Amino acid sequence: MLPAIDTIIEDFEFLDDWEDKYRYVIEIGKSLPDLPEDEKTAENKVHGCVSQVWLTSEIEGGGDPVVSFQGDSDAHIVRGLVAIMIAAMSGRKASEIESFDAASLLKTLGLEDNLTPQRSNGLRAMVARMKDEARAAAEAA
């Protein structure tokens, strides 16, 4: 089961060096439920990521719907980053997802300076996709 974002933040506070954080990101990725193979489609693929990343969403509710995400990646570290963003944004109201500050979270976790430019770009693309899906859900409500 995926840990809550507050738990992830608390755990990161005890990790001093990048190697420990890197291993923990991979460990978090292992707790991410597998995305069914039939969901790994071109439509669900996040463009802008060097690794393959798939993201699906489920919408519940009315005026400010709750959006839940599932995701996966073929790379261990990226799967962990996907898991962190899902822990932070899934199961929240669309308005909360749209206003979520992913850059601040990465800074809090100490990841912003240690990700390669390609991984950072891919992460931004994934966050943008999550926000776009939340915006679309809110507009459709």
Q: DSSP characters for 66-133?
A: EEEEEEEESSHHHHHHHHHHHHHHTTEEHHHHHH--HHHHHHHHT-TTTS-HHHHHHHHHHHHHHHHH
49 catalytic residue (yes or no): yes
Q: Which of 49, 75, 84, 97 is catalytic?
A: 49
Q: Where in the sequence numbering do the catalytic residues fall? A: 49
